[in-house]
């Protein structure tokens, strides 16, 4: 029972970060019908921005600001930085290819991903960066929290899950309750018709990249609070992120959240009960099963092609 | 359409070609003047003549260089050519984004390692294991394609990319697959047999240097694969591939088995990759999981895209350019030469269009000397950096190279360079020309001080830039023909 609870806690932390990444994929796919391979690397850049801010503010041993402010600043800086990066990527690598055959922007995206990962390696080296959150305020982020039975739920995990969910709720409100959100939904539904109705498509797309990349940046910092980051994580993280997006139904926002959590649970439980090594295999099997039996994902619309 | 040479069109459009499309190709060429005549003559040379010429030229290479390194690079270039040919079947002809391609290369290598090494004590004759591995590769490719057959290209991309990751997981953790050591894990499989016929081994090293035998075997493989794929492409299947790539719906309406065709191109590519893998494993005598990963995938994609996906000659040219380029970029001295040659070449190409670019070159030179002298006058240590290798003398007096880079300089100048390059693409006219001067100089500065210090990421950055720039400026690559959109 304790193992089960512990794994559930793990799954929630892992899943909420996956959900943040999956949202970025899903948002971009929704409006552009483009798999943004560079998204995982934006996440990676976010985790490095968080690290940079942490060092600027004195590191974990002697932070110059209160702990809560430090965390907020790290996440905010990563969100802003990644949003700018996302906009630049869209403007220069994807926009010129908007009317090209579909394979063209995908290859360009691969190039961007490769470029980002290697540029970061050029500038910051391949050594892992550890936030060393354990040193922060006498490990209070680990020792504080609450217990369920024998299982200790660290404050750090609560912070991760809660901030991820707050961001998701904000996103949901933004997409469903604002005019910009309405424009995004319209563009996602039918880009040409939306343009004819007077929606500035370019603005909507830029805004989508801002949102998606900011979420990735936040995810990068939240993830790296627990796990050291390197310049090479983008590939695997991106892979997990869009697997989550596909499982949930690519293009669907609640779907991406659900997909992220499912992936988190699948990974955590297969690692806990079956084998640490083969969890990728299990996740892959789930992906294949979805591809065969429900290609539109859990909450996605079935793709009806008009001829 | 991408691969048919125009000379075939004088007797009217080839099968499966629209009259308008055929005439489009003619209109585009219109050879005129003496140069045009030569161009036309060159175009009339049949493909097999080119192939024989190329093979003949390539096989004289060992006569020019006895260096084991050069021979090895030549050998690996041929491997890349084979990989590019295989990927071209999937991406260029089938129109499918296969991101797991190098996993099949790995499967071929690992299969050979398992079937011909001391690992399990199996030593199959090469003539048995090679066909077996090719068939296995084709079948695995087929199976992987199955779940994605109904889905669009994007889903295929995900499944195949995940497959690549899975291949990593399996090979890295295969030292403990239910208690058995199958793949040797991160330590890989060592002491793999070379190719052997009967009792005769094809040695990899002869008197301590790389033997040319593998180079010739690789060339032979290349010739066979090239010709075989050429024939496939000219057959019904090849035409069907191209038609389903251009418009799957129309192809299906014409009664073509679109799913079957996709699966076929997929497993053809996988088979070629697996075959190449055996060659790699036999030569390297060891296999490790990380050889077959994302980096290799991007390298092969760059070759195919640069050469022109869909054109066999194109992708071979792509491999011939990219593979030596990557080797040259390892060495700082040669890397500098490549940079300046590329810079001057690029300017020359562009200045055919506008004389102003010549002015830009001169202005950049002057700008560089001015900056160098000014900074040198202020503080000697700014220009005290040592240059080594090619063009060292030239750069001594032109590029600012501090003896020790302050920590903030590398990120600032690199990110600044990206920013100004992007800015240059945004502005037009005179502003662009003026902006180009400091941009070029900054590029030289970054190359000299930031990139040369770390060749490993630097050469991959070059690849990434090539991929992005090509997709935007010339998606058809060097030799691929621009697709004709019929609306």
pLDDT tens, residue by residue, A163-183: 999 999 999 999 999 999 999
Task: Tell me the per-residue pLDDT of B30-47, one tens digit each, with 9 for 90 and over.
Answer: 556 676 777 777 777 888
Distance CA A74, CA A48 (A): 10
A115 touches chain B (CB under 8 A): yes
Closest by Cα among B190, B171, B27 to B118: B190
Closest by Cα among A142, A172, A189, A180 to A19: A172
Distance CA A72, CA A78 (A): 10
Name, in order, each residue with C-beta under 8 angstroms of B154's C-beta and a sequence gap of 6 or more.
A29, A33, A35, A102, A106, B97
Tracing tokens 């970029």 back to the chain, one arrives at: B329
b/e per residue, A78-87, with b = 16+ CB within 10 A?
A: bbbbbbebbb
CB atoms within 10 A of CB B324: 16
pLDDT at position B405, please?
78
Given a cut of 60, whether residue B201 has pLDDT beyond it is yes
Q: Residue B55 corresponds to which tokens in the numbers above?
A: 């093979």
Four-point Cα dihedral A252, A253, A254, A260, nearest 10? 100
Name, in order, each residue with C-beta under 8 angstroms of B372's C-beta and a sequence gap of 6 or more.
B383, B397, B398, B399, B400
Taking CA atoms, what residue in B is nearest to A34?
A: B154
Q: Which residue has the higher pLDDT, A22 or B375?
A: A22
* Closest CB from A29, A35, A107 relative to B467: A107
Report chain A's mean pLDDT, rounded to a whole number.
89
A307 touches chain B (CB under 8 A): yes
Given a cut of 90, whether residue B350 has pLDDT beyond it is no
Name, in order, each residue with C-beta under 8 angstroms of A169's C-beta and a sequence gap of 6 or more.
none
Closest by Cα among B222, B220, B210 to B79: B222
Closest by Cα among B446, B169, B422, B434 to B292: B169
The two counts, helices (H) then strands (E), for chain B are 20, 4
CB pairs under 8 A between A and B: 133
* Closest CB from A100, A114, A239 relative to B161: A239
Query: Using the 8-state DSSP alphabet, how is residue A302 labeled?
Result: P
A103–B173 CB contact, under 8 Å: no
Q: Residue B319 corresponds to which tokens in the numbers above?
A: 């491999």
In this prediction, residues B228-244 reach a mean pLDDT of 91
pLDDT at position B15, please?
59
Total count of residues recorded for chain B = 487
pLDDT at position B40, please?
75
Closest by Cα among A288, A152, A164, A276 to A215: A164
Q: How confident is the model at residue A75 (pLDDT cuts 50, 70, 90)?
A: very high
Tracing tokens 């949202």 back to the chain, one arrives at: A23
How far A174 CA lies from chain B's nearest CA (Å)? 27
Report A:194-223 residues touching B (Cβ under 8 A): none
A88 touches chain B (CB under 8 A): yes
Task: Tell me the per-residue pLDDT of B114-149, one tens digit each, with 9 for 90 and over.
Answer: 998 888 888 888 899 999 999 999 999 999 888 766
Taking CA atoms, what residue in A is nearest to B174?
A: A277
Closest by Cα among B302, B297, B335 to B454: B335
* Closest CB from B153, B155, B422 relative to A103: B153
pLDDT at position B6, please?
47
A103 touches chain B (CB under 8 A): yes
Rg of chain B over all Cα atoms, to the nearest angstrom: 25
Q: How confident is the model at residue B14 (pLDDT cuts 50, 70, 90)?
A: low
H helix intervals, chain A:
2-32, 39-56, 67-89, 103-124, 140-143, 155-177, 179-189, 191-196, 201-224, 233-248, 253-269, 279-293
Task: Tell me the per-residue pLDDT of B300-317, one tens digit each, with 9 for 90 and over.
Answer: 999 999 998 888 999 999
For residue A151, give the H/E element and its range: strand A151-154
Residue A112: its chain B contacts at CB < 8 A?
A: 464, 468
Q: Which of B2, B289, B417, B457 to mutate to test the interface with A (most CBs of A within 10 A)?
A: B457
Name, in order, each residue with C-beta under 8 angstroms of B303's C-beta and a sequence gap of 6 or more.
B80, B83, B84, B315, B318, B319, B321, B322, B323
pLDDT at position A275, please?
80
A236 touches chain B (CB under 8 A): yes
Q: Is A42 helix (H, G, I), strand (E, B) or coil?
A: helix
Return the domain boundaries, chain B: 1-45, 48-328, 333-453
Strand partners, B123: B116
Contact B151, A295 (CB under 8 A): yes
% pLDDT > 90, chain B: 35
Residue A291: its chain B contacts at CB < 8 A?
A: 147-148, 151, 155, 159
Given a cut of 90, whether residue B359 has pLDDT beyond it is no
pLDDT at position B29, please?
55
Given a cut of 80, whether residue B483 has pLDDT beyond it is no
Q: How confident is the model at residue B78 (pLDDT cuts 50, 70, 90)?
A: very high
Query: What angle do the packed helices A233-248 and A2-32 form, to 10 degrees?
Result: 80
Task: Tell me the per-residue pLDDT of B45-61, one tens digit each, with 9 for 90 and over.
Answer: 888 889 999 999 998 88
A295 touches chain B (CB under 8 A): yes
In this prediction, residues A176-196 reach a mean pLDDT of 92
């Amino acid at each position: 029972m304790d193992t089960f609870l512990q794994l559930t806690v793990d799954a929630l932390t892992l899943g909420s970060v996956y959900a943040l990444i999956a949202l970025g994929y899903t948002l971009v796919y929704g409006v552009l019908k483009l798999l943004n391979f560079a998204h995982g690397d934006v996440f990676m850049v976010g985790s490095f921005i968080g690290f940079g801010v942490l060092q600027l503010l004195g590191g974990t041993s002697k932070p110059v600001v209160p702990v809560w402010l430090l965390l907020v600043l790290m996440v905010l800086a990563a969100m802003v930085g990644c949003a700018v990066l996302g906009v630049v990527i869209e403007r220069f690598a994807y926009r010129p290819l908007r009317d090209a055959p579909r394979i063209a922007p995908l290859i360009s995206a691969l190039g961007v991903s490769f470029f980002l990962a290697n540029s970061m390696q050029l500038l910051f080296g391949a050594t892992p960066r550890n936030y060393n959150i354990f040193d922060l305020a006498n490990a209070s982020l680990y020792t504080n929290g609450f217990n369920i039975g024998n299982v200790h739920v660290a404050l750090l995990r609560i912070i991760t899950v809660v901030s991820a969910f707050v961001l998701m709720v904000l996103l949901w409100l933004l997409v469903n309750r604002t005019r910009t959100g309405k424009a995004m939904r319209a563009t996602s539904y039918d880009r040409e018709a939306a343009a004819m109705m007077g929606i500035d498509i370019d603005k909507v797309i830029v805004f989508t990249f801002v949102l998606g990349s900011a979420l990735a940046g936040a995810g990068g910092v939240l993830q790296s609070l627990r796990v050291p980051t390197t310049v090479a994580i983008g590939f695997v993280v991106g892979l997990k992120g869009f697997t989550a997006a596909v499982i949930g139904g690519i293009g669907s926002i609640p779907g991406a959240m659900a997909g992220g959590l499912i992936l988190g649970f699948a990974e955590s439980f297969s690692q806990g009960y079956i084998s640490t090594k083969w969890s990728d295999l299990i996740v892959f099997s789930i992906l294949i099963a979805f591809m065969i039996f429900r290609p539109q994902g859990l909450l996605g619309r079935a793709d009806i092609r008009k001829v | 359409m991408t691969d048919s040479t125009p000379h075939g069109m004088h007797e009217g459009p080839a099968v499966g070609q629209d009259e308008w499309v055929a005439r489009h190709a003619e209109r585009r060429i219109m050879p005129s003047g003496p140069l045009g005549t030569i161009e036309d003559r060159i175009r009339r040379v049949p493909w097999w003549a080119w192939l024989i010429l190329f093979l003949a030229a390539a096989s004289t290479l060992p006569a020019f260089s006895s260096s084991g390194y050069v021979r090895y690079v030549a050998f690996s270039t041929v491997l890349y050519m084979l990989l590019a040919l295989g990927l071209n079947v999937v991406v260029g002809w089938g129109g499918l984004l296969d991101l797991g391609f190098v996993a099949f290369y790995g499967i071929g290598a690992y299969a050979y390692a398992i079937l011909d090494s001391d690992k399990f004590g199996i030593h199959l004759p090469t003539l048995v294991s090679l066909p077996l591995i090719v068939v296995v590769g084709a079948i695995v490719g087929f199976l992987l394609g199955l779940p994605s057959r109904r889905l669009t290209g994007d889903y295929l991309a995900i499944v195949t990319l995940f497959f690549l990751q899975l291949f990593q997981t399996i090979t890295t953790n295969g030292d403990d697959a239910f208690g058995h050591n199958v793949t040797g894990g991160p330590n890989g499989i060592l002491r793999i047999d070379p190719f052997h016929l009967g009792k005769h081994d094809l040695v990899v090293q002869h008197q301590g240097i790389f033997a040319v035998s593998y180079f010739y075997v690789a060339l032979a493989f290349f010739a066979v694969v090239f010709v075989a794929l050429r024939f496939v492409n000219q057959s019904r299947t090849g035409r069907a591939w191209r038609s389903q790539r251009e418009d799957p719906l129309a192809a299906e309406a014409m009664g073509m088995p679109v799913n079957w065709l996709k699966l076929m191109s997929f497993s053809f590519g996988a088979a070629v990759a697996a075959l190449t893998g055996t060659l790699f494993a036999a030569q390297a005598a060891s296999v490790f999981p990380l050889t077959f990963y994302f980096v290799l995938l991007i390298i092969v994609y760059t070759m195919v895209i640069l050469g022109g996906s869909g054109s066999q000659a194109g992708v071979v040219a792509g491999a011939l350019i990219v593979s030596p380029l990557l080797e040259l970029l390892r060495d700082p001295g040669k890397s500098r030469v490549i940079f300046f040659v590329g810079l001057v070449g690029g300017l020359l190409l562009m200045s055919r269009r506008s004389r102003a670019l010549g002015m830009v070159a001169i202005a950049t030179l002057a700008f560089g000397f001015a900056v160098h002298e000014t900074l040198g006058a202020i503080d000697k240590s700014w220009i005290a950096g040592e240059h080594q290798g090619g063009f060292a003398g030239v750069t001594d007096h032109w590029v600012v190279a501090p003896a020790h880079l302050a920590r903030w300089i590398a990120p600032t100048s690199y990110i600044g360079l990206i920013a100004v390059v992007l800015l240059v693409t945004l502005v037009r006219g005179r502003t662009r020309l003026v902006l180009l001067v400091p941009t070029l100089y900054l590029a030289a500065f970054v190359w000299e001080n930031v990139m040369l210090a770390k060749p490993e990421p630097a050469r991959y950055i070059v690849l990434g830039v090539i991929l992005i720039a090509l997709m935007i400026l010339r998606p058809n690559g060097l030799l691929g023909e621009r697709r004709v959109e019929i609306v």
